[in-house]
Amino acid sequence: MTDCLLCSVMLSLLMSEINRADNTLYVVIGCDCDPDRPQYGGTRYDTRTSLKWRGVREGILRAREIADDIQDDFGNPLKMTWCVRSDLQMKEIYGDCAWPYSEFVDLWESLAGRGDEIAWHPHLWRWSERYGCWYQEIEDGDWIRNCLQQGYAALSSRMGRAPVTSRMGWEFHSDTTMQTIAELGIKVDFSAVPGRFTPGAADHLGSVFNCYVDWRNTPEQAYMPSAADYRRGPEANEVALRVIELPMSTFRSRVLDIAACLRRTARAKGGDKLRHLSIAAKANNASLKAYMTIHPYAFSRLVSAKMSEAKRNGQAFLITAFHADDMLPVPGRINTLHRWQHFAKNIKRLRWRASKARLALRFITASDTLQLLGHRRGVQSA
C-alpha cells in the first residue's frame, strides 16, 4: 500500500473516530468574493469592461455585521472563510491576477485579524474572440494549469503567505484542476457537491457556456482525491493526492431538485433548454446544496439532515457558502425577502435549533478542519 493510499485510509479512520466524539455540529461558512453578477447589477458576460464590486465593498460588511451577533457554544464568534478571486480573467481586465486582493487589502487584513480565513477562489473564465464573451474553459488543460499557477502565485505574493484553502468557481473540478491545486500546495478544497451534475450551457447573461460541474459518485464525507478520478478517494493501486476535499453539505428532495432544474432551464438558451428539461425529467431525489442565503425552508432541510447525522454519529460537519453579492438588494424585488435576510434568518435558526437539540455548535474556518481531520503536511504527493 502506497504512502498516499495509506494516508487516505487513515483519513477515513479519523473521520470514524471524530464521529464517535461528543455531540458537536461543526459549521464552515465560505463566501465566494466574486464581482457582482449581472442579476445583481453587475457586468454582463459579453463585455470586457471593468467589473462591479458592490458585493465585496458593501455585502461583506453586511454579512459580517449579521454574524457578529452570533456566538457558538465555545464562546467563538461566527468565523467565515472568504474566498478571493485570483486568475487570468482578473489579469486580463486589471493587469494583475490578484487585483481583488490588492484593491481591497484593508478589508481582507481586517477580516483575517478577527479570526476569519482568507482563501483562494479561482474562476476559469476565458474570453472567446469568436463569440465575444466570457465562457467556462474546461477542456484546454495547458491553459487551465497556467490560469491556476499564475493565480495562486499572484495571490500568495500579495498576501505575503500562501493560502492553504481553495474553492473553485462554479464548484467545478477536473482531474487537471485537482492535480494542479495539490501540486501548488493547497491543503483543503471545499468545492465538491456530492451527486451534482450540470452539463453547462449558454445563458441569458451573455455567456455561451458556463456552470458545468460533475460530482457524480462523490462521497459525502471528507476524502483525499484519487489521481485517477478527482470525484472519489483512491482504489487499489491508485495514488491519493496531497489535498483534502471537503464536500459541501447536501440534502435530498425530489421536488426541490426538479424545481432547481427548471430554474436552470429558464436561464438557458435555445437547444440547451432541452438538455436541462431532460435532466429535470430524470431527477430522482438527487443531492441538493443549500447556500446560507437560500430560502429558510430549504436551509432547514439541510440543518435537519446534519443534526440527525450529529446525533447518530456523535459529530457532523455542515459545509455551506454564499456569494458576496447575495448581501445586496435584488433590483426589481420590493415586497419579497432578499437573500441577505435569508442569511440572517438561517444563522439565527441554526443557532436556536442546535441549542434546542442539545447539540454543541462550533464555528470553524475551512482550514480548521485540517487539525480536526488529523491532516499531516508530510504526506507524499502524487
- Beta carbons of 166 and 151 less than 8 angstroms apart: no
Domain boundaries of the chain, sorted by first residue: 3-249+290-372, 250-289
Q: Count CA atoms closer than 13 A to 310's CA, side-chain side.
A: 25
Question: What fold characterizes domain 3-249+290-372?
Answer: TIM Barrel (3.20.20)
SS (H, E, C) 40-99: HCCCCCCCCCCCCCHHHHHHHHHHHHHHCCCECCCCCECCCEEEECCCHHHHHHHCCCCH
Q: Which residues contact 29 (CB under 8 A, 6 or more apart)?
A: 78, 79, 80, 81, 292, 320, 321, 322, 363
Q: What is the pLDDT of residue 373?
A: 85
User: Roughly what angle, to the nearest 10 degrees, separates helices 60-67 and 105-113?
Assistant: 10
Q: Given this model, what pLDDT does residue 378 score?
A: 33
Average pLDDT over residues 44-59: 97
Return the closest-CA partner of residue 151 out of 181, 192, 113: 181
- Cell 457558538 -> residue: 72
Higher confidence at residue 156 or residue 8?
156
Name 244's Cβ contacts closer than 8 Å, sequence gap at least 6: 11, 187, 188, 189, 222, 223, 224, 369, 370, 373, 375
Q: Please provide residue 252's backbone torsions phi and psi, each rounded to the nearest 5 degrees.
A: -120, 135
Q: What confidence tens digit (pLDDT) does each residue in 306-343 have?
A: 999 999 999 999 999 999 999 998 776 654 568 889 99
pLDDT value, residue 100 = 98
β-strand partners of 165: 188
pLDDT value of residue 112: 98
Do residues 190 and 28 touch, judged by C-beta distance below 8 A? Answer: yes
Answer yes or no: is pLDDT of 154 > 90. Answer: yes
Residue 7 predicted with pLDDT over 70: no
d(CA 141, CA 147): 10
231-258 burial string, b = 16+ CB within 10 Å, else e? bbbbeeebbbbbbbbbbbbbbebeebbb
Q: What is the pLDDT of residues 19-37, one digit of tens each?
A: 445 799 999 999 999 999 9
* 36 neighbors 52 (Cβ within 8 angstroms): yes
Residues 159-213: pLDDT tens digits?
999 999 999 999 999 999 999 999 999 999 999 999 999 999 999 999 999 999 9
Going by pLDDT thresholds of 50, 70 and 90, the confidence category of residue 223 is very high
Q: Contact 73/66 with Cβ under 8 angstroms?
A: no
Over 70: is that where the pLDDT of 367 sits? yes
When pLDDT is averaged across residues 294-302 and rounded to a whole number, the result is: 92
The confidence band for 5, taking pLDDT boundaries of 50, 70 and 90, is: low
User: Quick one: what percent of the chain has pLDDT higher than 90?
Assistant: 76
Residues 68-123: tens digit of each pLDDT: 999 999 999 999 999 999 999 999 999 999 999 999 999 999 999 999 999 999 99
